[in-house]
Amino acid sequence: MGQSAEFSLRFWGVRGSIACPGPETVRYGGNTSCLEVRCGPHLLILDAGTGLRGFDHALDGAAIDADLLMTHTHLDHVCGWPFFTALTRPETRLTAWSGHLKAPHTLESVLDRFLRDPVTPVRRETLAATIAWKTFTMGDTLEPRPGVTVRTAPLNHPNGATGYRIEYDGRSICYITDTEHVPDEPDRNVLELIAGADIVVYDATYTDAEFPKFVTWGHSTWQEGVRLCDAAGVKTYVVFHHDPSHNDDTMDGIAAELEQARPGSVIAREGMVLIP
């Protein structure tokens, strides 16, 4: 297949842990994880953090037919769910995928917790959309839509998380967030998943200098992302899941160091669009 079909990645939320809007994060953004991937006529949504609200607003009332791929269900990645008004439209069709949960938990049961008293006035009955819940085993290869292949791998994060590699039209986008590396021991699961990828979005919450204070918290560093992408022959590396304490000036400093370490790499910003 030639590289003629639309294949794009848009960032709606780039922060980790907690949303941090304000004057000190205006350039990079303060919303938590949510990405939009367009594969020709097909729409994939990656995670449902507060960035999901911006995506929902951009729909301007339109219904959607989409797949939602969840890395995991920690609060910063799911807290946009009650504000996803596209789900109130009967014409909307959503297939929601997860691979990290263990019985008795399911993605449906976890997200349903957000739609109960006294947490929110939104009710499950408010969701008029047709939602299909799909469970897989991390390591499986999925085919959510014709011509779209999604490869998966387990990540190193408390309660588990899934890494994704989306392949379409001969190109690939990888989404590797909420994973902790072991110093001097490259994660083989990650290396295999991102090998030769066009774009890799990687959990770069900390710097190498900060990392020792946060071991066991389940996150990595921008420098480890450089090492992994170099070893795997990745084309474009994207720093993602910014720590909420890293303001715009801090991120500018990381961007300058990143350009020196791996020219052509980028820092994820809300609204940024990348095309492999």
pLDDT at 3: 56
pLDDT at 118: 87
Q: What is the mean pLDDT of residues 171-196?
A: 98
Average pLDDT in the chain: 96
Residue ranges per domain, the chain? Answer: 7-274
Quickly count: other Cβ atoms within 10 Å of residue 231's Cβ.
13
Q: What is the mean pLDDT of residues 187-200?
A: 98
- Given a cut of 80, is residue 4 above it in pLDDT? no
Distance CA 26, CA 251 (A): 11
| pLDDT 10s digits, 21-79 | 999 999 999 999 999 999 999 999 999 999 999 999 999 999 999 999 999 999 999 99
pLDDT at 1: 39
Superfamily grouping for domain 7-274: Ribonuclease Z/Hydroxyacylglutathione hydrolase-like (3.60.15.10)
Percentage of residues in the chain having pLDDT higher than 70: 99
Q: What is the mean pLDDT of residues 170-175?
A: 98
Q: What is the mean pLDDT of residues 164-181?
A: 98
pLDDT at 148: 98
- Given a cut of 60, is residue 2 above it in pLDDT? no
Q: What global pTM score does this model have?
A: 0.96
pLDDT at 121: 83
